[in-house]
Amino acid sequence: MKPKKISYRLIDRNEGAGTGMYALLDRLVADHHDDLTEARIALAWNTAWKPDPDGRCTLGKCRKATDLDRELAAYDFVIILRRDFWEHDKVTELQRTALLDHELMHAATRVDKDGEPVVDERGRPVYRIRKHDIEEFGAIVARYGLWKRDLQWFVSQVPAQPSLEEPRDNEPPPPTDGDGPTPARGPEWWNA
């Protein structure tokens, strides 16, 4: 009988690619995610994500540990990364950094009505998953412009620097959403 394929594998902090990946994770937390300095974050590979019916692939996902998970393992979050994306020779360090930072944006400390961090009965911080700032279709923006305040705010956040690649005529640019879909276009769907 053929053995069952394993789709997830924890990335060891102290071995191989894991040393650089965790160094990047630690730097991003220190530079941009003050509320996560005490969070125990693991990285894992996924090798089984397939394109959805629209041909889009997931590049990463942030998963908050449940109370039971926290009892069984020393993690508050696991960031799961698409291995064939991360290791592809056309993927740049900027893209890897942006993906990991994007997934860290989903990890957040829960706060009470006064803005104070919530702790559990053991004194541990309570965490939550933060949603994206905007959710919209490119076609709606093309038809109606920046019709909502969240879209206007989002566009105001774009730095004045060239993008990685100009979109081709009549082709929407690939979404850059780390845990959202990215168009599948053969082996270079993430950097077409």
pLDDT of residue 55: 85
What is residue 103's predicted lDDT score, i.e. its pLDDT?
97
* Residue 103, amino acid: E
- Segment holding 25, helix H or strand E: helix 17-32
pLDDT for 165: 55
**In the predicted model, what is the mean pLDDT of residues 117-132?**
95
Asked if residues 84 and 100 have their Cβ atoms less than 8 Å apart, the reply is no
Q: Taking each helix axis from N to C terminus, what angle separates 17-32 and 93-106, rounded to the nearest 10 degrees?
A: 60
Ranges 46-55, 71-80, 173-182: which has the least confidence: 173-182
Domain 8-133+179-183 has CATH 3.30.2010: yes
Confidence of residue 117 (pLDDT cuts 50, 70, 90): very high
Residues 94, 57: contact at Cβ < 8 Å?
A: no
Predicted TM-score of the model (pTM): 0.79
pLDDT of residue 135: 86
* Cβ-contact 42, 6 below 8 angstroms: no
Least confident range from 35-44, 89-98, 145-154: namely 145-154
Domain range list for the chain:
8-133+179-183
Residue 141 has pLDDT above 70, yes or no: yes
Band (pLDDT 50/70/90 cuts) for residue 26 is: very high
